[in-house]
Amino acid sequence: MRRLIRIGLAMLVAGLVGGGGALAIAWVALDRWLHAPGPLEAPVTVALPRGIGLGGIAEQLAEAGVIDRPRRLVLAARIAGRDRALKAGEYAFRPGMTPDEVLRLLEQGTVVLHPVTVAEGLTVTEVFTLLAESPVLSGPLPPLPPEGSLLPETYLVPRDEPRARLVARMRADMSAALDRAWANRQPDLPLTSPEEALILASIIEKETALAEEYPLVAAVFVNRLRKGMPLQTDPTVIYALTEGEGPLGRALTRRDLEVDHPYNTYRNPGLPPGPIANPGRGALEAAVRPADVDYLYFVADGTGGHAFARTLAEHNRNVARWRAVRDAGG
């Protein structure tokens, strides 16, 4: 607005010197209109497409009730050179915004941001299905990235955000989160690389939905790795059977646990060859900072959590209790 004020003062001086006071009066009226509350009575969201031009912007804002004099907005923006700085996008306007505030909002490009929520524990294929179905995003998806390379979070994006751009952002965020977790790892972990921490985190994420259990589940698997015990974790078998395409859709059977597949941790020692899902920050942190406990087993307790055990005998008792709860519930 400083430029408009300077121009207006120049016009005022010129008008007074040249006897053209009407021009100066017109500028004063325009400036007063720019800073007066607008006609909008209720919040409204307006999408301004690319290439609409200044006139189209003014007309669309007038139709939405944001301003009442579209020609004045065009004139004011051009006099001040603000027409070249206006950005397309979806904008939220509040009641009573002055035309100057409207122009400032469009200059800053402060568009409406929409949440795209990616839950922890989804596979890459499941994440891509979610992104493909999002009405907020636009454009094609890139080729499938490696499993476990997308950080699950709620991402705020403008409408028509390219899907490929969001995927790149998710990959960069996962890389940064993994680097940060690995840098803060406990000493003497039986993990040799950030990639192994990512694999363990993906298993933790699939084993429990309770954030407070992450360090305990991590401790069980870290203790097993230290002792050379097989991990024997069902989610790796499910991944072996589904190849990450989606849920198994049924309960695991004893025959499933015998499937000959690199991801079957009942048959193969150590960690599987890769992640089985996309873990969140909590699981990443638990993988490198497990609880200081000597648990070796856990089983569902019927309440949504798990019962942990140090010995096989204790674990068998927990399993019996779980089966009783399960049977009682049909």
The burial class, CB within 10 Å (0-12 / 13-18 / 19+), for 330 is exposed
Q: How confident is the model at residue 14 (pLDDT cuts 50, 70, 90)?
A: very low
Q: Where in the chain is the domain with CATH 3.30.1490.480?
A: 2-108
Phi, psi of 267 (to 5 degrees): -100, -30
**Residue 9: its pLDDT value, please?**
38
The two structure tokens encoding residue 242:
């589904």
Q: 39-74, pLDDT tens digit by residue?
A: 999 999 999 998 999 999 999 999 999 999 999 999
Compute the Cα dihedral for 178, 181, 184, 188 and give only its sign.
negative
pLDDT(323) > 70? yes
**Residue 19: its pLDDT value, please?**
46
Phi, psi of 158 (to 5 degrees): -75, 160
The mean pLDDT value for 167-192 works out to 97
Mean pLDDT estimate for the chain: 91
Q: 142-170, pLDDT tens digit by residue?
A: 999 999 999 999 999 999 999 999 999 99
The CATH code for residues 2-108 is: 3.30.1490.480
Distances (CA, A) of 237 to 108, 248, 278: 51, 10, 16
pTM for the whole structure: 0.84
**Residue 24: its pLDDT value, please?**
67
Q: How confident is the model at residue 328 (pLDDT cuts 50, 70, 90)?
A: confident
Q: How confident is the model at residue 80 (pLDDT cuts 50, 70, 90)?
A: confident
Distances (CA, A) of 154 to 8, 125, 151, 169: 47, 18, 10, 12
Contact 124, 244 (CB under 8 A): yes
Lowest mean pLDDT across 25-34, 122-131, 174-183, 315-324: 25-34
Antiparallel, parallel or unpaired: β 44-48 and 89-93: antiparallel
